[in-house]
């Protein structure tokens, strides 16, 4: 590991400072790394892929011909966060998640924040994720988003920003868990030298948290405990591995729409002993497919009548239908106001500066500076439908300009951040690559729990800022050091 690797980059590097000295977080790791033989590391690097394939940690990609199972590339160099850094982040994340839930409650009730003039009514009126059927209804415990992923990026020692809120159905938590398992299997000695906070109790916490969200008095399971089930679209869904993994680790049933039916006013699953009620449904099926009677009538993934049972207080659906509005990038742009409105505090974690192209002045600015900005679709995700000005071709910029002018309200723009880098392991040794971080948050009436760590996504191509797995990004194990 040489300082030279860092000198060409101007962004914040997680491992080294500008003089090439190892930062505090990585000191123990780098000591260990110096003692490793390159040949052995190269072998382990190859082994990691085999481990993921064998255990079936894959995602499905559907091409023209037939389905293909791919691995998300895994990098053996961990991303490390100190205990002090994590405490600061945790406070900011907790504040933001509290605000998200208050905002969702308000959106489906009196809309005080609109009355107070802090956000415009048009923001949700024209948003397809906003569900009129949820108006006036309060989910059990008043909780809308039970499982949240907050995407963070870093630009300096104390500069973390929220890039996106994933309040609908954040995915990837199985990678957080399996990345750690793989690292521990490959480098047991490393974990005896560096004290790292465990992530492995996430499934237990998730099970407890979901059970605590059951409707009042609902405990259909053995020993008077609520019955929890994970709803998956099925084995051909790209994230099926994660659905099965979480259900298995929680000891919950893994159900498909065809297993479920509304019987005697309850959502019940077909077991070998007949239909049995479910109290909490952790659904990994989108709102529009949840109930063909209420939403998309063509859906075969959902359960006819489940929304009626839900509105009658007969089941908890996590996350609540209608939560997806918080993933909208136009709403994101109001998050600093939203946090302040509901918590009465200044946001601890700032947003990335965002221009709403719906505003005429902002649009003019964005159009004048397209080659320096990142422009995103308001409803887009997965790194699709975005323009990265500085790396785009002239033609791409021109095409995007037309789209922007045609429907400016569909876009927001942000400055091109110089995301922090963290080294990845390559054949030629360590090489810096841009990373982000998605910590996972659980919300129940018992409080908010944040697992120390999360999923670090890394852009494997040199200089690339796109970390999404659908666009060739990889992942790293993420460590929070013990004090």
Site residues for other proteins per CB under 8 A = 53-56, 235, 240, 244, 247-248, 252-256, 258-259, 269-274
- Closest distance between other proteins and the C-beta of residue 244, in Å? 4
CA separation for the pair 274, 254 (Å, rounded): 16
- Closest distance between other proteins and the C-beta of residue 180, in Å? 16
> 3-state DSSP call for residue 269?
strand
Q: Which of 61, 36, 103, 44 is nearest to 347 (CA)?
A: 103
Residue 272 or 393: the one with the smaller Cβ distance to other proteins is 272
- Closest distance between other proteins and the C-beta of residue 68, in Å? 12
Do the beta carbons of residue 458 and residue 473 sit within 8 Å?
A: yes
> 3-state DSSP call for residue 70?
strand
CA separation for the pair 271, 223 (Å, rounded): 18
CA separation for the pair 58, 239 (Å, rounded): 8
Residue 55 or 446: the one with the smaller Cβ distance to other proteins is 55
Residue 177 or 269: the one with the smaller Cβ distance to other proteins is 269
- Closest distance between other proteins and the C-beta of residue 147, in Å? 19
Q: Output DSSP code: residue 408.
A: G
Question: What tokens were used for 106?
Answer: 């308000």
Residue 186 or 244: the one with the smaller Cβ distance to other proteins is 244
- Closest distance between other proteins and the C-beta of residue 154, in Å? 35
- Closest distance between other proteins and the C-beta of residue 272, in Å? 4
Neighbours of 26 (CB within 10 A): 25
Residue 247 or 267: the one with the smaller Cβ distance to other proteins is 247
Containing H/E element for 329? helix 329-332
Residue 114 or 244: the one with the smaller Cβ distance to other proteins is 244
- DSSP characters for 176-224? HHHHHHHHHHH-HHHHHHS-B---TTHHHHHHHHHHHTS-TT---SGGG
- Closest distance between other proteins and the C-beta of residue 226, in Å? 17
CA angle 63, 68, 69 (to 5 degrees): 140
Residue 224 or 236: the one with the smaller Cβ distance to other proteins is 236
Phi, psi angle pair for 254, to nearest 5°: -105, 105
Q: Which of 105, 327, 320 is nearest to 213 (CA)?
A: 320
Residue 257 or 314: the one with the smaller Cβ distance to other proteins is 257
Residue 27 or 261: the one with the smaller Cβ distance to other proteins is 261
Residue 268 or 333: the one with the smaller Cβ distance to other proteins is 268
CA separation for the pair 27, 24 (Å, rounded): 5
- Closest distance between other proteins and the C-beta of residue 98, in Å? 33
- Closest distance between other proteins and the C-beta of residue 241, in Å? 8
Neighbours of 36 (CB within 10 A): 13
Direct distance between the N- and C-terminal alpha carbons of the chain, in angstroms, rounded to an integer: 26
Question: What tokens were used for 203?
Answer: 């499934």
CA separation for the pair 329, 413 (Å, rounded): 10
Residue 52 or 130: the one with the smaller Cβ distance to other proteins is 52
- Closest distance between other proteins and the C-beta of residue 295, in Å? 21
Strand partners, 154: 160
Strand partners, 376: 412
- Closest distance between other proteins and the C-beta of residue 80, in Å? 29
Strand partners, 153: 161
Containing H/E element for 423? strand 421-426
- Closest distance between other proteins and the C-beta of residue 247, in Å? 5
Q: Counting Cβ atoms within 10 Å, is residue 181 exposed (0-12), middle (13-18) or buried (19+)?
A: middle
Tell me which residue has tokens 């019955």: 227
Residue 251 or 390: the one with the smaller Cβ distance to other proteins is 251
CA separation for the pair 122, 120 (Å, rounded): 5
């Amino acid at each position: 590991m040489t300082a030279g690797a860092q000198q060409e980059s101007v962004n914040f590097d997680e491992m080294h400072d500008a003089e090439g000295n190892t930062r505090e977080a990585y000191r123990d790791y780098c000591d260990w790394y110096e003692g490793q033989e390159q040949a052995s590391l190269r072998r382990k690097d190859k082994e990691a892929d085999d481990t993921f394939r064998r255990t079936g940690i894959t995602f499905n990609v559907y091409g023209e011909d037939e389905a293909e199972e791919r691995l998300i590339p895994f990098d053996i160099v961990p991303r490390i966060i100190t205990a002090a850094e994590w405490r600061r982040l945790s406070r900011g994340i907790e504040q933001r998640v509290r605000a998200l839930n208050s905002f969702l409650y308000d959106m489906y009730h009196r809309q005080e924040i609109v009355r107070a003039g802090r956000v415009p009514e048009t923001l949700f009126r024209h948003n397809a994720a906003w569900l009129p059927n949820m108006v006036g209804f309060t989910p059990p415990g008043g909780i809308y988003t039970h499982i949240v992923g907050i995407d963070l990026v870093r630009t300096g020692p104390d500069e973390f920003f929220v890039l996106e809120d994933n309040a609908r159905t954040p995915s990837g938590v199985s990678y957080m868990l399996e990345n750690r398992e793989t690292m521990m299997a490959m480098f047991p000695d490393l974990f005896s030298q560096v004290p790292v906070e465990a992530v492995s109790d996430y499934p237990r916490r998730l099970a407890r948290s979901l059970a605590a969200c059951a409707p009042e008095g609902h405990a259909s399971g053995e020993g008077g405990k609520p019955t929890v089930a994970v709803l998956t679209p099925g084995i051909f869904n790209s994230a099926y591995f994660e659905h099965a993994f979480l259900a298995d680790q929680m000891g919950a049933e893994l159900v498909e729409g065809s297993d479920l039916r509304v019987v005697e006013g309850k959502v019940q699953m077909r077991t070998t002993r007949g239909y049995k009620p479910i109290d909490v449904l952790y659904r990994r099926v989108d709102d529009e497919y949840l109930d063909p009677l209420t939403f998309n009538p063509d859906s075969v993934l959902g359960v006819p009548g489940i929304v009626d049972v839900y509105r009658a207080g007969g089941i908890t659906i996590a996350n609540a239908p209608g939560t997806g509005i918080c993933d909208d990038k136009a709403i994101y742009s109001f998050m600093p106001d939203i946090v302040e409105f509901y918590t009465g505090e200044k946001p601890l974690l700032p947003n990335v500066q965002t221009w709403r192209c719906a505003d005429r002045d902002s649009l003019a600015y964005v159009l004048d500076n397209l080659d320096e900005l990142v422009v995103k679709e308001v409803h887009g995700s997965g790194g699709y439908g975005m323009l990265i000005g500085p790396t785009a071709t002239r033609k791409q910029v021109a095409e995007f300009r037309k789209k922007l002018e045609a429907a400016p309200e569909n876009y927001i723009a942000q400055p091109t951040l110089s995301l922090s880098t963290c080294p990845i392991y390559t054949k030629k040794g360590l090489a810096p690559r841009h990373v982000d971080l998605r910590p996972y948050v659980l919300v129940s009436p018992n409080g908010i729990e944040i697992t120390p760590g999360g999923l670090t996504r890394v852009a494997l191509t040199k200089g690339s800022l796109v970390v999404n797995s659908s666009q060739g990004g990889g992942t790293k194990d993420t460590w929070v050091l013990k004090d």
